[in-house]
Amino acid sequence: MSKKELELRPGTGPTADDEPVVQVVRVPRMTATWRAIHWFQALAVVVCFVTGLYIANPYYSPNPTRIDAATYFMAWNRAIHFYGALVLDVSMFLIAYLYVFSTKHRDITDLRPSPENLTEFKEALLNFVTFNRRKRLDTSKRDPFLAVLFLVFHLIILTQLLTGFQLYVASYSANISAVGSWWPSLLHFVTDWTLTVFGGNVGVRETHLVTAWIIIAWAVFHIYYEIWRSIMWKEGDIVISFGGYKYVKRSGTKHG
């Protein structure tokens, strides 16, 4: 098929009814809610990473010879870090809900180890590792490989959530908090086991720092993979997160 023919849109070509045509079909992939979650999370990850680097090892300071009562670099970084983390955490609860109860597409269905899902997972993986030489999957819909990739991300974020809240609740004195003692009590109840698993508050902190880098590495891979799909598949995968749709070429007859 020539380049000129590929650019044709339905009903615009000078073809007979039964002649094959190429249609570009708009496939919905991300609802407005999911796109909002996506960009809030992306922003929160960047904010938490930048502020987290400062909290771990403060790399700028006010001039020590000029003590300025108006600078609170660490306090600001910590506050922004917590706000970013809370955005991530709340979106995680939303995602957990949508995984199971979404009215549009329940991600949990992509994660079921059914024969079709396993085949599609394998084909998507093979497509990537064979550099798009082998392409035996329906690229228009969301494949289980992508679903597993996102599940991994959500589990990493969950680790960060649990270790982060453990570090956060450590600084509460005697269960006193601005919103009542239920809040630190709840955090202790939910996250204290991380002390045993990761080796005390030192281990929890190390896990939190290392996991931050794993998140960034995941994000780098994610961006690459979406760009790679956009280039190799030519279906505009990269714009899904902006417009919500991808654009798939379909061949058929004019009335087919």
Partner 1 sequence: MEYDRRSLFARALGHTKELRTTEDEALALQRACEARLREVEAMEPLSGLELAPLLTEHKLSRRAFIAWTSAMTAALMLPPLLRPQVARAAALLNRIPVIWIEGQDCAGNSEAFIRSSGPTVEELLFQTISLEFHETLMAAAGVQAEQRKQQAAQMYKGSYILVIEGGIPLGENGGYCTIGASGQTFVDEVRELSGGAALVLAAGACAFYGGIPASNPNPTDAVGVSSVVSGKPLINIPACPMNPVNFVGTLIHYTLTGSAPALDSLGRPIWAFGNLIHNNCERRAHFDAGEYVQHWGDAGAQNNFCLYKMGCKGPFTYNNCSIVRYNEGTNWPIGVGHGCIGCSQPQFWDTLAYERPMTNASIHAPGLAGWGVESSADEFGLGLLAVVGVGIVAHAIASAAAGHRARRTEPPGAEVGAASTEDHQDTGGEE
Please tell me the distance from the alpha carbon of residue 193 to that of residue 200, in angstroms, as a whole number.
10
Classify 246 as helix, strand or coil.
strand
Instruction: Give DSSP secondary structure letters for 205-231.
Output: HHHHHHHHHHHHHHHHHHHHHHHHHHH
Report, in Å, the least distance between residue 31 CB and partner 1.
6
Residue type (1 letter), 111: L
Task: Give every CB contact of residue 248 below 8 A, 6+ residues apart in sequence.
Answer: 24, 25, 27, 139, 140, 235
Report, in Å, the least distance between residue 43 CB and partner 1.
19
Report, in Å, the least distance between residue 94 CB and partner 1.
13
Residue pair 18/254 in contact (Cβ under 8 Å)? The answer is yes
Report, in Å, the least distance between residue 113 CB and partner 1.
20
Quote the tokens at residue 179.
């919103």
Q: Which of 199, 188, 200 is nearest to 162 (CA)?
A: 188
CA distance readout (Å), 98 to 91, 102, 114, 214? 10, 4, 21, 24
Phi-psi region of 222 (alpha: psi -120 to 50; beta: other; left: phi over 0): alpha
What's CA 184's distance to the chain center, in Å? 28
Report, in Å, the least distance between residue 21 CB and partner 1.
10
CA-based torsion, 30, 32, 34, 39: positive or negative? positive
Report, in Å, the least distance between residue 174 CB and partner 1.
6
Of the pair 24, 47, the CB lying nearest partner 1 is at 24
Report, in Å, the least distance between residue 245 CB and partner 1.
10
Please tell me the distance from the alpha carbon of residue 75 to that of residue 77, in angstroms, as a whole number.
6
Task: Give every CB contact of residue 58 below 8 A, 6+ residues apart in sequence.
Answer: 73, 74, 77
Of the pair 133, 255, the CB lying nearest partner 1 is at 133
